[in-house]
Structure 1
Amino acid sequence: MLPSKLLSSLQAVFPTDRLYIDPVDCYTYAYDNSRKIYPPDAVIFPLTSAEIQTAILLCNQHNIPLIPRGRGTGTAGGSLPELGGIALSLERMLNIITVDPANRVIVAEPGVTNQSIQDAAKPHGFFWPPDPSSAMYCSLGGNIATSAGGPHAVKYGTTRDHVLGLKAVTGAGDIIKTGCYTTKGVVGYDLTRLLIGSEGTLAVITEATLKLTSLPDAIAGITAHYRDIASCAAAIVKIMSLSQIPSALEFMDAGSLALIRGRFPNMLPAHSRAMLMIEVDGSSYDIPNLITTVMDACHTDGLLQVENTRDTAHLWKTRKALSPLLRDIAPKKINEDIVVPINSLPELLDGLTQLSDRYQLANVNFGHAGNGNIHVNLLINPDDPGEVSRAEECLNEIFDLTIKLKGTLSGEHGIGSEKRAYINKEIDPVTLNLMKQIKRLFDPNNILNPGKLFP
């Protein structure tokens, strides 16, 4: 429960439709896509930087946690109010402030959805490359908080590569501006890239200046099916060794294909055990050669069939249906987004198969193979203590294998609360201590999203 003095101060700033204190109203903000539940004591909906600053200063005075959140689509527990406190929902900050085609820039507030950014850019011949599977619903602020990626990150990069500057309020209540409006600028430290991926632990984003990219003239799709994972992994390495890489390269294992067959019975070859979904883009003149080159690279001993498809929209609709399908059959699945160097993918995928077999766990793997970013899904029964224990041991070994292969524990989901216990596997004590010092500098009283990232 919030102190009465703090509540009175909040009521003086936020009208009743932008301040929730009834537990029933607050419950919607108790969880994200990690499916864990931690109810906040209150929810506030700011509309301006000044309101955010006021909320932060009040929380500092009363030592109350303040947890920024977008649309709650994150899977790593990054927006969970684990210690209670106030959920700071940015979903009503919906202004697209500037659309500037001449400079290829959009300036927008954090509550704007990814899809709204795309819709604003498209009439001018541009797009914003980050495209997570939740793009229709996820917010710009959430994309920035986790440096979201998506299928097209293989060619175009993640959120971190497409933000020029930010406005934010630090955990100390200071309003700051980072970066610039131009694509070139080296004045001072790069605080923009520091804030991107910081999961709301340093500052609350209030405005972002985004760098747009020209829409390609033409797009084509390719699907390739394999008799086993090993031959599919070998094809991924061949494709990514080409001088011109695809705009997307998605991998699905046998478990993923079984899920798709359940929804689209006649879509896939019955004997396919692994699949690549590939997209190429560029000029209309270049596309035919790109298709031929990529299709040639798909050939390995285990190739069953490879074909060109014009219906790329259906291709991505199918791919993006995978996560919801998994939620339907395993609402308590363990979902990780590890990344390894491309040439280590064969060893990683083989290792994942061995580990799931050893621990007797159902495992479905798919993801952005062009980045070496594999989404590992351990399907467990949370009511079976033995299975939960085996899953924890298996996950620990998966992370060890990832680090051994010079990989990273998260490519786009973030650390949040789900992976903080494992962060020491990747970050050495000296570097981790430096990060904690940065946290204290931005947020000296540890009121912004406390407990996230660090063990």
Structure 2
Amino acid sequence: MLPAELVSALNNLLPSDRLYTDPVECYTYAYDNSRKIFPPHAVAFPLTTDEVQAIVMLCNQHKMPLVPRGRGTGTSGGSLPEQGGIALSLERMLNILSVDAANRVIVAEPGVLNQTVQDAVRLHGFFWPPDPSSATYSSIGGNIATGAGGPHAVKYGTTRDHVLGLKAVTGAGEIIKTGCYTTKGVVGYDLTRLLIGSEGTLAVITEATLKLTALPTMIAGITAYFSNSASCAVAIKQIMALPQLPSALEFLDAGSLNLIRNHHPRMLPNDASAMLMIEADGTENEISTTVSSILNACKTDGLIAANQAENIAALWKARKALSPLLREIAPKKINEDVVVPVSSLPDFLNSLEQLSRQYQLANVNFGHAGNGNIHVNLLIDPDNTEEAARAEACLDRIFDLVIRLNGTLSGEHGIGSEKRAFIHKEIDQPTLSLMKNIKLLFDPNNILNPGKLFP
């Protein structure tokens, strides 16, 4: 329970419709897409930076955990109030403060949806490149907190590449401004990039200055089908070695294709065991050259067919539906977004197949192959304790494989609570200690999202 003094202070600060203390109302904020449940003692809905600051100061006074939250679409447990306390929902901070076409900038509050940003800037001929699969219902605050990516990161980069500056409230209750309004700026430390991907452990973002990119003139799609994953991985290496970079390069394994076939029986060749969905953008002349080069790069021993796609929108819809469809195979998915160098993909995909056979687990893999970012999905029955144990052992081996191949444990989902036990595999002790010291500098009482990231 919250101290009566804290509840009274929050009631004085926020109207009743912006402060939940009823356990039934709070339950909605007890989970994210990790499907684990940790109810908060209260949920606060600030509308301004000053209100966020006041809530942070109250939580410091009472040493109360405060967990910033966007729309709860994360898969790594980053927004779970594991220690109770207050869930700080930023979903009602919905203002777009300015759209500046001349400087290619939009300034918005953290609760604004990714899709709302796209709709607002498309009128001016721009887009904001981060495009996670949850873009239609995830907020830019959440995208920034997790360092979100998406299919088009292969050409345009991730969230870190498209944020110029931030306004935030530190865990100590100080309002800070990081970065600048211009695309050039080297004054002081780059605190903007430090906060991006920090998962609400350092500060609460209350305003973001985002860098926009011009919409391409044309977009073309290519589909390539392969008899096996090995030949598909070779094609990925050949495509990424081209001077003409695709704007998206998605890999789907046999398990992914079977899920699509169950819902779209005539969409895919029956003998395909791996697939690439490729997108190219640019001017008409650029598109022609890029498509020709990519089709040529797809020619490996296992190629079944590679053609320019007539209906790329239908394919993207099927691709984005894959994650929820996994529950048709098993009730629980252990979803990891590991990354390896593109040149290591043949070794990685082959080793994944061996590990899933060794541990007798259903495994479906798909993802952003152009970045080497593969979403590994181990599919299990959580009520089968023996199978769950095998999955944990397999996952440990997968992470060791990723590190051996000079990869990273997370490309866009973050660490949260789901991967914190494994972070030592990638980050050495001196570096972890430095990160913990940075955390304490921003948040001396450890009230912001305590327990996340670190083992």
Change (3 A) 1:328 1:142: farther
**Superposition RMSD in Å:** 0.7
Alpha-carbon shift at residue 327 of structure 1 (Å): 3.7
Identity %: 74
Corresponding position of 2:33 = 33
Distance in 2 (CA, whole Å) between partners of 1:129 and 1:329 is: 32
SS at match of 1:102: coil
Distance in 2 (CA, whole Å) between partners of 1:183 and 1:303 is: 43
Alpha-carbon shift at residue 316 of structure 1 (Å): 1.2
Code of the residue aligned with 1:63 in structure 2: it is K
Distance in 2 (CA, whole Å) between partners of 1:327 and 1:86 is: 31
**Is the 8 Å Cα contact of residues 338 and 376 (structure 1) preserved in structure 2?**
yes
SS at match of 1:286: helix
- C-alpha deviations, 1:401-445, integer Å up to 9, x for none? 000000000000000000000000000000000000000000000
**Is the 8 Å Cα contact of residues 35 and 332 (structure 1) preserved in structure 2?**
no
**Is the 8 Å Cα contact of residues 223 and 276 (structure 2) preserved in structure 1?**
yes
Where in structure 2 are the equivalents of 1:236-247 lying within 5 Å?
236-247=236-247
Are 1:100 and 2:109 counterparts?
no
Corresponding position of 1:406 = 406
Code of the residue aligned with 1:175 in structure 2: it is I
Where in structure 2 are the equivalents of 1:208-247 lying within 5 Å?
208-247=208-247
Q: Output the TM-score relative to the length of structure 1.
A: 0.99
Distance in 2 (CA, whole Å) between partners of 1:330 and 1:81 is: 27
Distance in 1 (CA, whole Å) between partners of 2:273 and 2:113 is: 36
Unaligned runs of 5+ in 2: none
Corresponding position of 2:314 = 314
Corresponding position of 1:122 = 122
Alpha-carbon shift at residue 328 of structure 1 (Å): 4.7
Corresponding position of 1:297 = 297
Distance in 2 (CA, whole Å) between partners of 1:355 and 1:214 is: 43
Alpha-carbon shift at residue 242 of structure 1 (Å): 0.3
Distance in 2 (CA, whole Å) between partners of 1:131 and 1:324 is: 18
Code of the residue aligned with 1:406 in structure 2: it is N
Corresponding position of 2:9 = 9
Distance in 1 (CA, whole Å) between partners of 2:331 and 2:9 is: 40
Distance in 1 (CA, whole Å) between partners of 2:70 and 2:414 is: 14
**Is the 8 Å Cα contact of residues 259 and 322 (structure 2) preserved in structure 1?**
yes
**Is the 8 Å Cα contact of residues 66 and 448 (structure 1) preserved in structure 2?**
yes
- C-alpha deviations, 1:352-388, integer Å up to 9, x for none? 0000000000000000000000000000110111101
SS at match of 1:259: helix
**Is the 8 Å Cα contact of residues 225 and 305 (structure 1) preserved in structure 2?**
yes
Alpha-carbon shift at residue 293 of structure 1 (Å): 0.7
Corresponding position of 1:386 = 386
- C-alpha deviations, 1:314-350, integer Å up to 9, x for none? 2211111111111454342100000000000000000
SS at match of 1:60: helix
The ranges of structure 1 where at least 4 consecutive aligned residues each deviate by more than 3 angstroms after the TM superposition are: 327-331
Distance in 2 (CA, whole Å) between partners of 1:285 and 1:376 is: 37
**Is the 8 Å Cα contact of residues 226 and 302 (structure 1) preserved in structure 2?**
yes
SS at match of 2:102: helix
Are 1:451 and 2:451 counterparts?
yes
Code of the residue aligned with 1:138 in structure 2: it is S
Distance in 2 (CA, whole Å) between partners of 1:145 and 1:438 is: 16
Aligned positions, number? 455
Distance in 2 (CA, whole Å) between partners of 1:156 and 1:382 is: 38
Corresponding position of 1:51 = 51
Corresponding position of 2:167 = 167
Distance in 1 (CA, whole Å) between partners of 2:39 and 2:194 is: 29
Change (3 A) 1:46 1:329: farther
**Is the 8 Å Cα contact of residues 331 and 381 (structure 2) preserved in structure 1?**
no
Q: Output the TM-score relative to the length of structure 2.
A: 0.99
Code of the residue aligned with 1:372 in structure 2: it is G
SS at match of 2:386: helix
Corresponding position of 1:200 = 200
Distance in 2 (CA, whole Å) between partners of 1:329 and 1:227 is: 22
Distance in 1 (CA, whole Å) between partners of 2:147 and 2:327 is: 23
Distance in 2 (CA, whole Å) between partners of 1:280 and 1:14 is: 49
**Is the 8 Å Cα contact of residues 225 and 272 (structure 1) preserved in structure 2?**
yes
- C-alpha deviations, 1:51-70, integer Å up to 9, x for none? 10011000011111000000
Change (3 A) 1:55 1:328: farther
Code of the residue aligned with 1:278 in structure 2: it is I
Are 1:369 and 2:373 counterparts?
no
**Is the 8 Å Cα contact of residues 331 and 382 (structure 2) preserved in structure 1?**
no
Unaligned runs of 5+ in 1: none
Where in structure 2 are the equivalents of 1:36-185 lying within 5 Å?
36-185=36-185
Alpha-carbon shift at residue 312 of structure 1 (Å): 2.2
Code of the residue aligned with 2:281 in structure 1: it is D
- C-alpha deviations, 1:288-314, integer Å up to 9, x for none? 121111000001000001110132222
Code of the residue aligned with 1:60 in structure 2: it is N
